[in-house]
């Protein structure tokens, strides 16, 4: 999915001003078996029969700036996560930093700080749970990261040039009960903005006291031109059927089938031989 295309408009929601952005899905990136390259794909797709093989994740390109998605390389070696050859790449180390709370993960954050000059944000998203979700990402990727998560509203809590400091701040907010670091995915597109902005403001103000940072008060949301209430689906129940991809939002692909729109989690398909695509549709001989 390409990142949201920028600011649309400020929306007045009661006493709040919410900046609205829109995400757009232009194509999928498909990695044919045996290839490291990926290819843009816009056609219909079918889900292959299990069992699926998992493959090594994306490992090339700089961390400090946005890349061209069509030039990414995905190692064709079977692996859960990163293969042994790419386990010490910058992207693998960055992923370890953000995906775990272990001492090894915090050391990985320090390693990235030594190797990469980057800017990071600690953000908060309200998704209707008891507490909002907090996270860390590279600053230039903020809108894209928020678009990948089911949310009603979001905000930035802190900006820093240290990934280690950002990760520690995120963990501190979780420890103090101000936010959670992970949650069960929900479909919340279209829920009440005012109620969400009120909740987010309350938690963001509490977070600012924990972090010793002045909160800007800026609230945003990332929307998409997709049905607000698609049917949530499981990939294994859709094997062999043909679907047209009509959008993406909140960590889900939105598919149009013969029974209406479906929402399928990215994580059910990514890094696996889970799709059936004809080679000539990708321009392969």
**7: pLDDT strictly greater than 60:** no
Residue 1 lies in a domain: no
pLDDT tens per residue across span 100-120: 889 999 999 999 999 999 999
Expressed as residue numbers, the domain containing 205 is 7-282
Based on the structure, what is the number of domains in the chain?
1
Q: Which residue has the higher pLDDT, 261 or 185?
A: 261
Within-domain flag for 222: yes
Q: Give domain status of residue 11, yes or no.
A: yes
At 153, the pLDDT band (50, 70, 90 cuts) reads: very high
CB 31 within 8 A of CB 73: no
CB 21 within 8 A of CB 6: yes
Between 162 and 22, the higher pLDDT residue: 162
Contact assessment for residue 120 and residue 137, using Cβ atoms and an 8 Å cutoff: yes
Kindly list the distances between the CA atom of residue 11 and the CA atoms of 15, 100, 119, 219, 227, in Å, as whole numbers in the listed order.
10, 36, 28, 10, 21
Rounded mean pLDDT, 74-78: 94
- Tell whether 201 is covered by a domain: yes
Average pLDDT over residues 166-184: 92
Select the more confidently predicted residue: 120 or 281.
120
Asked if residue 2 belongs to a domain, the reply is: no
Average pLDDT, the chain: 89
Q: What is the pTM of this model?
A: 0.90
Task: Assess whether pLDDT exceeds 80 at residue 277.
Answer: no
Asked if the model's pLDDT at residue 210 lies above 80, the reply is yes
Look at residue 207 and tell me if it is in a domain.
Answer: yes
Segment 177-193, tens digit of pLDDT: 999 988 766 778 777 89
């Amino acid at each position: 999915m390409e990142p949201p295309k920028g600011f649309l408009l400020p929306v007045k929601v009661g006493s709040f001003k919410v900046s609205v952005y829109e995400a757009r899905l232009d194509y999928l990136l498909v990695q044919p078996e045996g290839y490291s390259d990926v290819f843009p794909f816009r056609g219909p797709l079918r889900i292959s029969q299990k069992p699926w093989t998992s493959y090594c994740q994306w490992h090339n390109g700089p961390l400090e700036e946005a890349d061209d998605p069509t030039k990414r390389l995905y190692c064709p070696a079977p692996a859960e996560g990163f293969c042994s050859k790419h386990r010490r790449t910058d992207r693998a180390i960055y992923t370890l930093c953000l995906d775990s709370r272990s001492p090894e993960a915090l050391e990985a954050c320090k390693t990235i700080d030594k190797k990469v000059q980057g800017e990071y944000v600690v953000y908060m998203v309200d998704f209707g749970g008891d507490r909002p979700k907090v996270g860390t990402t590279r600053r230039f990727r903020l809108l894209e990261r928020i678009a990948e998560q089911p949310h009603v509203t979001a905000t930035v809590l802190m900006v820093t040039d240290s990934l280690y400091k950002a990760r520690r701040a995120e963990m501190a907010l979780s420890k103090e009960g101000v936010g959670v670091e992970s949650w069960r995915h929900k479909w919340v597109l279209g829920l009440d903005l005012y109620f969400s902005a009120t909740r987010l403001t309350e938690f963001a103000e509490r977070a600012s006291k924990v972090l010793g940072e002045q909160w800007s008060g800026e609230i945003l949301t990332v929307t998409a031109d997709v049905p607000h209430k698609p049917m949530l689906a499981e990939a294994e129940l859709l094997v062999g059927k043909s679907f047209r991809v009509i959008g993406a939002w909140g960590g889900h692909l939105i598919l149009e089938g013969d029974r209406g729109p479906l929402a399928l989690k990215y994580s059910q398909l990514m890094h696996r031989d889970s799709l059936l695509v004809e080679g000539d549709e990708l321009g392969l001989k």
